[in-house]
């Protein structure tokens, strides 16, 4: 690897920012492309302000890059392929494209023997007739593409409610899923290098409210060893299937002592932010290591961790900043309702103290939660 490697990143949000922050430790640099002049990446990496499909911007982006990656899965295939004509793009475009469509993603899970909620593509209200059995007692209808943080989703019960939801969500390009009464949400993050080397991070327990991740706990409390191993088996199947290079996240439901896959994210992931302080090598550094063809760093935990997302605005946390293992990450974003503007990680070998400090910080968070649906 030449000492002057430059990694190109599609997207300059907080994930791009944290990737760029991990680069100097490896002696490399990052360049991000993002249409917003005030993208969070702007003060930590070279920033091309441009549209992702604009050829002139892409030419400036690709000039002299070692390889390119993305911080978000909904990057256009056109932009990915244009850049791939010049430099390697990781993760593989096939994995990124599979994750852009919930039906293709779930079909991949099924093909690989990874359990997932029952589902059916929906392109009209009439399609609902064929899946009446999925509609009771409850089901969830989502847009196949471009949904995030619970947007573009409705929980429905029965055919009338489902028909209304289909119309509200645009009438086609939807997926119907059986509603899973999970006991909790988990995720696993893994990284695969270019020489078939795979490392797994601890399975994390994740708490969402209003469809938005609020809190991740690593390790997931009281997780049986068999489930940890099962989560590793499932994500390894995906990594092998795509000949994957980089970090992959798999969101899971725990239901009746079993795991079901909800969705995958072909990128660094919010439920892995704790790894910056809580693991020997962060997900961001390992993603860079993988895509640059370097050996991977250890994913072993340093200490139990809790990550709290800061939504809307960064609260005044000066009264708690000296608690053990406290780390504040400010993404330098303007405040806006429910926007992810930063996160806090607590990392502490004393688990009781970790939980107590987390509760104190949770009581200081600024967040408005307009949706009635608590998840």
State yes or no: residue 147 binds ligand AMP (CB under 6 A): yes
State yes or no: residue 262 binds ligand AMP (CB under 6 A): yes
Provide CB contacts within 8 A for 180, sequence distance 6+.
117, 253, 255, 260
State yes or no: residue 180 binds ligand AMP (CB under 6 A): yes
State yes or no: residue 140 binds ligand AMP (CB under 6 A): yes
Of the two residues 55 and 133, which places its CB atom closer to ligand AMP in the complex?
Answer: 133
Smallest distance from the beta carbon of 364 to ligand AMP, in angstroms?
25
Query: What is d(CA 367, CA 72) in angstroms, rounded to the nearest whole number?
Result: 24
Contact 261, 252 (CB under 8 A): yes
Query: What is d(CA 5, CA 135) in angstroms, rounded to the nearest whole number?
Result: 52
- Of the ranges 83-91, 173-181, 264-272, 309-317, which one interacts with ligand AMP (CB under 6 A)? 173-181
Q: Which of 254, 244, 148, 168 is nearest to 199 (CA)?
A: 244
Of the two residues 82 and 105, which places its CB atom closer to ligand AMP in the complex?
Answer: 105
What is the contact mask toward ligand AMP in residues 85 to 124, using x (rule: CB under 6 A)?
--------------------------------x-------
- Of the ranges 89-97, 174-182, 274-282, 343-351, which one interacts with ligand AMP (CB under 6 A)? 174-182
Residue of 50, 88, 115, 150 that binds ligand AMP (CB under 6 A): 150
What is the contact mask toward ligand AMP in residues 198 to 227, using x (rule: CB under 6 A)?
----------x--x----------------
Contact 324, 242 (CB under 8 A): no
For the chain, first and last CA: distance in Å?
Answer: 45
Residue of 34, 105, 185, 285 that binds ligand AMP (CB under 6 A): 185
Smallest distance from the beta carbon of 214 to ligand AMP, in angstroms?
11
Smallest distance from the beta carbon of 121 to ligand AMP, in angstroms?
15
3-state secondary structure of 14: helix
Query: What is d(CA 274, CA 360) in angstroms, rounded to the nearest whole number?
Result: 18
* Tokens of residue 260, six digits: 């079901």
Provide CB contacts within 8 A for 144, sequence distance 6+.
101, 102, 103, 121, 173, 174, 175
Smallest distance from the beta carbon of 138 to ligand AMP, in angstroms?
8
CA distances from 55 to 35, 77, 81, 362 (A): 13, 14, 12, 45
Smallest distance from the beta carbon of 219 to ligand AMP, in angstroms?
19
Query: What is d(CA 192, CA 291) in angstroms, rounded to the nearest whole number?
Result: 9
State yes or no: residue 241 binds ligand AMP (CB under 6 A): no
Smallest distance from the beta carbon of 173 to ligand AMP, in angstroms?
15
- Of the ranges 179-187, 230-238, 272-280, 295-303, which one interacts with ligand AMP (CB under 6 A)? 179-187
State yes or no: residue 82 binds ligand AMP (CB under 6 A): no
3-state secondary structure 47-72: EEECCCCCHHHHHHHHCCCCEEEECC
The pair phi, psi for residue 105, each rounded to 5°, is -60, -45
Smallest distance from the beta carbon of 329 to ligand AMP, in angstroms?
22
Query: What is d(CA 375, CA 32) in angstroms, rounded to the nearest whole number?
Result: 34
Of the two residues 82 and 263, which places its CB atom closer to ligand AMP in the complex?
Answer: 263
Q: Which residues bind ligand AMP (CB under 6 A)?
A: 117, 140, 147, 150, 177, 179-180, 185, 208, 211, 251, 262-263, 375
């Amino acid at each position: 690897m030449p000492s002057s490697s430059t990694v190109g990143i599609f997207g300059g949000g907080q994930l791009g920012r944290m990737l760029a922050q991990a680069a100097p430790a490896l002696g490399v640099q990052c360049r991000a492309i993002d249409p917003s002049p005030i993208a969070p990446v702007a003060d930590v990496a070279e920033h091309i302000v441009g549209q992702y499909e604009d050829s002139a911007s892409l030419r400036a982006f690709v000039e002299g890059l070692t390889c390119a990656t993305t911080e978000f899965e909904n990057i256009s295939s056109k932009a990915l392929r244009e850049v791939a004509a010049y430099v390697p793009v990781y993760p593989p475009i096939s994995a990124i494209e599979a994750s852009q469509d919930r039906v293709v993603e779930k079909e991949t899970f099924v093909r690989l023997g990874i359990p997932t909620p029952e589902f059916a593509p929906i392109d009209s209200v009439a399609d609902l007739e064929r899946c009446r059995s999925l509609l009771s007692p409850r089901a969830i209808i989502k847009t196949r593409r471009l949904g995030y943080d619970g947007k573009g989703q409705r929980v429905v019960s029965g055919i009338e409610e489902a028909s209304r939801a289909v119309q509200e969500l645009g009438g086609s390009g939807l997926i119907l899923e059986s509603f899973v009464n999970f006991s909790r949400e988990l995720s696993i993050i893994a990284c695969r290098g270019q020489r078939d080397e795979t490392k797994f991070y601890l399975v994390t327990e994740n708490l969402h409210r209003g469809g938005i991740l609020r809190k991740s706990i690593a390790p997931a409390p009281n997780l049986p060893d068999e489930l940890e191993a099962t989560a590793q088996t499932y994500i390894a199947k995906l990594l092998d299937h795509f000949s994957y290079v980089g970090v992959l996240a798999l969101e899971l439901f725990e239901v009746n002592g079993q795991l079901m896959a909800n969705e995958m994210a072909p990128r660094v992931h919010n439920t892995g932010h704790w790894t910056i302080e809580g693991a020997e090598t962060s997900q961001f550094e390992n993603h860079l290591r993988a895509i640059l063809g370097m050996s991977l760093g250890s994913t072993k935990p340093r200490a139990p961790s809790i990550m709290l997302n800061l939504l809307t605005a960064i609260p005044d946390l000066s009264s708690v900043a000296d608690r053990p293992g406290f780390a504040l990450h400010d993404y330098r974003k303007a405040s806006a309702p429910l926007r992810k503007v930063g996160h806090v990680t607590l990392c502490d070998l004393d688990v009781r103290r970790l939980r107590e400090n987390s509760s104190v910080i949770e009581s200081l968070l600024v967040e408005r939660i307009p949706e009635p649906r608590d998840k």
